[in-house]
């Protein structure tokens, strides 16, 4: 490995300061909106719903002015796994798809490829794509500071139920704050070990087992240093009079604008449409149309 | 301002081998002083410093800040608000992901209203000259800039006293100079400064030098007096500042040359004043 940068091609957690409409939304609104979209992606069980979602997400990507390439970059390391899962599903998926009857395309021994398995794979790939876009979009358009304040304020009503909202968001903030520091530390440890002859292997795609094994001697020094830093940080926080969330005021204030409510409303309506419209029937309808089964088309429309 | 009476401190990390870091310290620090504490590694400097804002409680004896005993948990927050602390590694003291939010951390803990928070952050960042970097993430700053952010975080609480525990150790000469200048500025405004350092050159900055050795105070006095006792200092494993050493050597050859001299400017001035004959003869 010639390149020791630890988080070189990680896009989740990167922020692109393009200052678009999406960037300027209230982080609270954004967190709720993107959670709704994640729920949408999770529960969309039909092809039509998935395609609609993808279209909507593409629209948001355009609005945010972030290059699509960035939003999709995080997908690259996951590609081999997607391929493996897709193959497994293709070969062994036996179930039914909705009310549809599966027709076998090819069968050999216990391997049974049906129209249903192909559809299932398509749905899975779409879903992963959408997850990636949703999560990347949130972090690409929102700074970590905004995210933590958004979380803090969203969870603050729960404080009355003794839920440690402030503490939780502080933990989150500190984790984010120290991510680049620890990445730099890891880089330093790797260089120090490499200079004494440690071999971190070539960046071969298929040598990931060996690469993982080579990471083990890095973990102990990294953890030790993280613990030492934690101890220092506790002292520094105590010295600055930190005694927990009680009686604390906040330097950062958020105020929701009409645009935030509008955006939130739009997403709510969109998700409701996905949820309540009979999109699975639409799926069947499209399949029937494509396969020229006019009789079924009429019966479905009449239905 | 700070009164330390017969303070002992024992670390109980390992019951079989307790480490006694402080062995009966007595100390008065008045308001507006600039105290520099020097001493070898393990002489108890840092342990003593952590007693000044109740991060450590004496095993026996008393520490009181403006009359408040650090043993009394009731006074804890008031003491922490009146004595600020800056430690060695700037990276490990920054909590927030944005410079200005980190500076606001202390005042937030004090429960100040928003208006006041903003005013204090502005003021503190102006003092350390970091106003231009207020919205940047701290990991993009240099070590010296980070340490100035940490100092801003401490002075935003408007402490009466600021304790620096080897705060310049990780900095390059430029960063160190910046921090020392900030300290002088704060001292001029009436803030009590207590600095712990390994650098003899920094010891000269103060109005009072305390030399620690094996958990005791070995020497205590104005820098002029401390640095005239070169032999005693060497016995304690410490050195003189470079300029002072030079002046001492010249003094040995030309007794007319005054010693101790603590700053380069002073030394140059005295060298110029030296009669030509003295220079030739030596």
DSSP chain A: -----TTTT--TT-------HHHHS-HHHHHHHHHHHHHHHHH--SHHHHHHHHHHHHHHHHHHT--HHHHHHTTGGGHHHHHHHHHHHHHH----BTTBPP-EEEEETTEEEEHHHHHHHHHHHHHHHHHHHHHHHHHHHS-HHHHHHHHHHHHGGGGGGT--HHHHHHHHHHHHHHHHHHHHHHHHHHHHHHHTT-------TT-HHHHHHHHHHHHHHHHHHHHHHHHHHHHHHHHTT---STT---S------HHHHHHHHHHHHHHHHHHHS-HHHHHHHHHHHHTT-HHHHHHHHH-
Res A107: pLDDT: 73
Distance from CA of A222 to the nearest CA of B (A): 15
User: How confident is the model over B174-194, as a mean pLDDT?
Assistant: 92
Q: What is the pLDDT of residue B103?
A: 95
Instruction: Report CB contact under 8 Å: B108, A250.
Output: yes
If you search the block for the tokens 């800040």, which residue do you land on?
Answer: B65
With beta carbons under 8 A apart, name residues in chain A contacting B153: 240
Helix axes A279-290, A294-302, angle to 10 degrees: 160
Does the pLDDT of residue A116 top 80, yes or no? no
- At B24, list the tokens: 């009966």
Residues of chain B found within 8 Å of residue A241, distances taken between Cβ atoms? 77, 80-81, 106, 109-110, 157
Distance in angstroms (rounded) separating the CA atoms of residues B70 and B83: 12
Nearest CA in chain A to B102: A251
| Pick from A247, A51, A236: nearest CA to B165 | A236
What pLDDT score does B31 carry?
93
Which pLDDT does position A11 carry in this prediction?
46
Does an H or E element contain A215, and which? helix A208-239
Q: What is the mean pLDDT of residues B25-35?
A: 94
Rounded to whole angstroms, the Cα distance separating B144 from B179 reads 8
Q: Which residues contact A141 (CB under 8 A, 6 or more apart)?
A: A15, A16, A18, A20, A22, A23, A30, A64, A66
Q: What is the mean pLDDT of residues A148-161?
A: 86
Question: Residues for chain B: how many in total?
Answer: 282
Query: What confidence score (pLDDT) does residue B195 get?
Result: 95
Q: Which residue has the tokens 């933590």?
A: A148
Q: Check CB contact under 8 Å for A237 and B95.
A: yes
Partners of B156 on chain A (C-beta within 8 Å) are: none
Three-state DSSP state, B218: strand
CB A41 within 8 A of CB A53: yes
Indicate whether A55 pLDDT > 80: yes
Span B144-160, pLDDT tens digits = 899 999 999 999 999 99
pLDDT band at A181 (very low <50, low <70, confident <90, very high): confident
Say if residues B112 and A254 touch (Cβ distance below 8 Å).
no
A240·B157 Cβ contact <8 A = yes
Minimal C-alpha gap between B121 and chain A (Å): 9
- Asked whether the beta carbons of B201 and B241 are under 8 A apart, the reply is yes
Indicate if the pLDDT at residue B167 is higher than 50: yes
Distance from CA of A170 to the nearest CA of B (A): 9
pLDDT, mean of residues A273-283? 78
pLDDT of residue A164: 85
- Work out the pLDDT band at A203, boundaries 50, 70, 90: low
Q: How far is B130 from chain A (nearest CA, A)?
A: 18
Rounded to an integer, what distance in angstroms lies between the CA atom of residue B260 and that of residue B269? 14
Identity of the residue in A233, A239, A250 whose CB atom sits nearest the CB atom of B85? A239
Tokens at residue A42, please?
A: 């999770």
Contact check, Cβ <8 Å, A240/B77:
no
Query: Domain spans of chain B?
Result: 31-55+69-238, 241-282
| pLDDT tier at B110, thresholds 50, 70, 90 | very high
Q: Which residue has the higher pLDDT, B55 or A210?
A: B55
Provide mean pLDDT across the span B125-135. Answer: 91
**Mutate: best of B98, B114, B116, B141, partner A, most A CBs <10 A:** B98
Quote the percentage of chain A above a pLDDT of 90: 17
Instruction: Report the DSSP pairing between strands B216-221 and B208-213.
Output: antiparallel
What Cα–Cα distance (Å) separates residue A225 from each residue in A184, B46, B89, B97?
Answer: 12, 20, 13, 20
The residue among B196, B173, B195, B170 whose CA lies nearest residue B184 is B195
Beta bridge partner(s), residue B84: B162
Distance in angstroms (rounded) separating the CA atoms of residues A91 and A111: 5
Helix (H) or strand (E) holding B163: strand B161-165
Which of A177, A240, A252 comes nearest B109 by C-beta?
A240
**Lowest mean pLDDT across A136-140, A280-284, B149-153, B232-236:** A280-284
- Is residue A38 pLDDT above 60, yes or no? yes
Structure tokens, A221: 């020094």
Distance between alpha carbon A290 and the CA centroid of its chain, in Å? 34
Predicted local distance difference test score (pLDDT) of residue A9: 44
| Distance (Å) from the alpha carbon of B149 to chain A's nearest alpha carbon | 13
Mean of pLDDT values over B186-213: 92
Would you state the pLDDT for residue A95?
A: 63
Indicate the pLDDT class of residue B198, thresholds 50, 70 and 90.
Answer: confident
CB contact under 8 A, A240 and B118: no
Contact assessment for residue B65 and residue B2, using Cβ atoms and an 8 Å cutoff: yes
C-alpha span between B143 and B262 (Å, rounded)? 28
Asked whether residue B267 carries a pLDDT value surpassing 70, the answer given is: yes
Element (H, E) at B252: helix B242-253
CATH of B31-55+69-238, one of 3.40.50.200, 3.40.50.880, 3.20.10.10, 3.40.50.300: 3.40.50.300
Band of the pLDDT at B109, cuts 50, 70, 90?
A: very high
Longest Cα–Cα distance in chain B: 70
A138-148: average pLDDT:
84
Average pLDDT, integer, range A204-220: 73
The confidence score (pLDDT) of residue B212 equals 93
Chain A residues in contact with B108 (beta carbon < 8 A): 248-251
Residues 6+ apart with CB under 8 A from A113: A90, A91, A104, A105, A106, A107
Q: For position B282, what pLDDT does the model report?
A: 47
Q: What is the pLDDT of residues A215-241, one digit of tens each?
A: 788 888 999 999 999 999 999 999 998
- As a whole number of angstroms, the distance between CA A49 and CA A41 comes to 9
| Element holding B68 (H helix, E strand) | strand B68-69
Is pLDDT at A99 greater than 60 in this prediction?
no
* Residue of chain A nearest B80, judged by CA positions: A241
Q: Is B109 on the interface with A (CB under 8 A)?
A: yes
The Cα of B259 is separated from the nearest Cα of chain A by a number of Å equal to: 40
C-alpha distance from residue B23 to each of A165, A217, B45, B215, B238 (Å):
44, 42, 12, 5, 20
Q: How confident is residue A207, by pLDDT bands cut at 50, 70 and 90?
A: low
Q: What is the dihedral of CA B275, B276, B280, B282, to 10 degrees?
A: 20
Q: Could you give the CA distance from residue B223 to residue B206 in angstroms, rounded to a whole number?
A: 7
Partner residue facing A238 (CB), from B55, B108, B137: B55
Of the candidates B209, B217, B235, B221, the residue with the CA atom closest to the CA atom of residue B37: B209
Which pLDDT score is estimated for A2? 44
d(CA A10, CA A70): 10
Q: Mean pLDDT over residues B96-116, rounded? A: 92
DSSP bridge partners of B25: B7
Residue A98 has pLDDT above 70, yes or no: no
Residue A265 to residue A269: CA distance in whole angstroms: 6
Q: Would you state the structure tokens that stand for residue B52, as one six-digit string?
A: 């000044």
The overall average pLDDT reported for chain B is 90
């Amino acid at each position: 490995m010639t390149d020791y940068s630890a988080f070189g091609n990680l896009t989740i957690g990167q922020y692109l300061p393009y200052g678009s409409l999406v960037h300027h939304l209230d982080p609270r609104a954004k967190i709720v909106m993107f959670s709704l979209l994640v729920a949408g992606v999770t529960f969309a069980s039909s092809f039509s719903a998935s395609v609609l979602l993808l279209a909507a997400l593409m629209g948001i990507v355009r609005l945010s002015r972030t290059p699509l390439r960035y939003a999709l970059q995080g997908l690259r390391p996951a590609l081999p796994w997607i391929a493996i899962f897709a193959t497994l599903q293709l070969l062994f998926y036996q179930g039914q798809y909705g009310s549809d009857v599966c027709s076998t395309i090819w069968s050999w021994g216990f391997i049974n490829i049906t129209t249903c398995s192909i559809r299932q794979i398509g749905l899975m790939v779409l879903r992963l794509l959408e997850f990636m876009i949703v999560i990347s979009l949130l972090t690409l358009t929102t700074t970590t500071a905004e995210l933590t304040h958004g979380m803090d304020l969203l969870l603050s009503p729960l404080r009355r139920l003794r839920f440690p909202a402030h503490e939780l968001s502080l933990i989150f903030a500190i984790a984010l704050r120290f991510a680049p520091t620890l990445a730099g530390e890891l880089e330093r440890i790797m260089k120090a070990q490499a200079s004494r002859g440690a071999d971190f292997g070539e960046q071969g795609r298929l040598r990931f087992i060996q690469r993982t094994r080579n990471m083990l001697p890095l973990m102990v020094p990294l953890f030790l240093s993280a613990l030492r830093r934690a101890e220092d940080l506790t002292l520094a926080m105590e010295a600055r009079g930190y005694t927990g969330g009680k009686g604390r005021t906040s330097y950062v204030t958020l105020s929701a604008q009409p645009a935030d409510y509008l955006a939130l409303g739009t997403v709510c309506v969109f998700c409701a449409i996905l949820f309540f419209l009979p999109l699975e029937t639409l799926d069947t309808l499209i399949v029937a149309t494509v396969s020229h089964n006019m009789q079924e088309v009429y019966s479905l429309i009449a239905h | 301002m700070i009164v330390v009476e017969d303070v002992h401190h024992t670390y109980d990390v390992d019951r079989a081998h307790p480490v006694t870091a402080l062995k009966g310290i007595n100390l008065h620090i008045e308001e507006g002083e600039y105290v520099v504490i020097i001493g070898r590694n393990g002489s108890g400097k840092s342990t003593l410093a952590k007693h000044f804002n109740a991060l450590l409680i004496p095993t026996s004896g008393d520490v009181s800040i403006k009359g408040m005993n650090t043993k009394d948990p009731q006074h804890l927050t008031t003491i922490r608000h009146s004595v600020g602390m800056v430690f060695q590694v700037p990276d490990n003291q920054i909590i927030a992901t944005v410079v200005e939010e980190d500076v606001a951390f202390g005042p937030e803990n004090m429960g100040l209203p928003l208006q006041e928070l903003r005013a204090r952050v502005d003021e503190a960042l102006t003092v350390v000259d970091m106003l231009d970097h207020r919205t940047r993430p701290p990991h993009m700053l240099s070590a010296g800039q980070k340490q100035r952010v940490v100092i801003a975080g401490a002075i935003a609480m408007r402490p009466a006293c600021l304790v620096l525990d080897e705060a310049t150790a990780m900095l390059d000469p430029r960063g160190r100079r910046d921090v020392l200048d900030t300290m002088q500025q704060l001292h001029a405004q009436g803030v009590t400064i207590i600095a712990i350092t390994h650098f003899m050159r920094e010891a000269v900055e103060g109005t009072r030098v305390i030399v620690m050795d094996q958990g005791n105070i070995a020497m205590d006095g104005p820098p002029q007096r401390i640095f005239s006792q070169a032999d005693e200092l060497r016995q304690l494993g410490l050195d003189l500042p470079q300029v002072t050493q030079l002046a001492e050597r010249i003094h040995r050859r030309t007794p007319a040359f005054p010693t101790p001299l603590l700053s380069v400017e002073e030394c140059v001035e005295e060298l110029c004043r030296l009669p030509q004959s003295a220079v030739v003869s030596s």
